[in-house]
Structure 1
Amino acid sequence: MTGCGLGEGTSPRGNRSNLQGLVYTLTKSKLGSLKKLRLMNNRLSILPVALLNALPSLEALYLGNNTISEIPKNLFLKTPDLRVIDLSFNRIRTVSIETTDQFDKLASRHSIKVNLTSNPFYCDCALVGFISWMHQTRNITIVNNVTYKCTASQSGPLSGRSIINLIPKYLGCSSTSRGTGLRLPYAGLVVIVVVLSLLVMTVMYLNRRGIARHCTELQNARKGRVEERDRPCVALPYSEVTSTIS
């Protein structure tokens, strides 16, 4: 079987029903040889992993113009021959390291094409790994990646800016931030330092009398040691020294 698709323009309720029916059909029917699956324009918000697990020979997956917001883990685990992944015009705000790792695993077998055009990317530290991946990845064609833009950001007016040219400092992130293994944004570090400083100052203020008393005791002890060290020696008269020796 070459291709299969879900009727376009389905209502949300009908969408859920049809999707469940399609999953059931694909998992129960002998469609292991299916090469192309077209599910465009169906208001899909989720991607059941079971849907692709039943299609080990799938080579092209078209999911454009839906409402998908994330790519499930291990979605492509059972589709090693997948070469085309179209997720354009969806609601994907970030691309996780787990997702790019899935793409890389497919690309280790053969070249693949990924289309994420016109998704509302949120430019924060979680997107740093994806940006870095786009610059470094091999054997993967990222369709129209120069057109991928920020729709919102955590740091500065980046809305409408191309994400391919962003660097971590524009997002308020450390240069080593990568997906879920992030360091805190600089702004977060500043807040932590300020809070800790205020806490230390509060503790010192509440214990100011005890601290002052302790400082006074230390100062007096030090002063006593200095006076003892600087006390002049008293020389005995020669006659007293002689009589003492005798």
Structure 2
Amino acid sequence: MSPSLTERAIEAVRMAIRNGTMVPGELYTVNQLATELGVSRSPARDALLRLEETGVIKFERYRGFRLQLPGPEDLAQIFAVRVALEIPAARKAAACASDKQIAELKAVAEALRKAAMADEEPEFMLHDQKLHGLVLDFAGNQYARKVIDNIRDATRLVGASTFQNFRTLVEVYQEHVPIVDGVAARDPEAASAAMYQHLRHTGGLLLQKSIGLDRPNVQAESERLWNQFAEFATIPSPGQ
């Protein structure tokens, strides 16, 4: 089944967020979006209404809409969802993935490595999202992937990238290696532990950036928010 005009409009907005074509702070109109997408006003507005539910945009009455920056508490709650969905997905993917699926995961990881080595951030981000999406797919829950895709777009608006301030693309790639290795080795505990470490590190850095790197006690505040919202979502392994 081909995607509806509304679904195509949603994906176009999400892609514009990912590649930086649409940025926080700038005012956009529904008519402007419809013209750029080559669709009528109705599917463009329907797409925006659905994106508003995810917190990605905010309407301004009679004016248009802006991309919505998530605050520190929003980010902590977003990562609570990611922890709750992606850790068990990594565990299940390691237990259930077929040889063909593992080969596909390794291919995406290799594309991620090449983008990191070439310092191609937009391409890297697309492969990063695809890698996480495959893990969710292998776990057999298509709705989990849709949820994660939506909320990852919101985190991208924080500056999405923790790269310039905290770490290189190669360092981020290296965080993904043990996830892929755990799935490939069919080791559920290794895969889920690696996923948690990656999410915990990324979430902590984004929280610090959202709070403000020049704020006193930024690291302590980041830890407090993580513990308040995200840590409860950590799902222990069966042996714990």
TM-score greater than 0.5 by the shorter chain: no
TM-score (normalised: structure 1): 0.22
Q: Which one has the bigger strand percentage?
A: 1
Higher relative CO (Cα under 8 Å, sequence separation at least 6) belongs to 2
TM-score (normalised: structure 2): 0.23
Q: Which one has the bigger helix percentage?
A: 2
Structure ID, larger Rg = 1
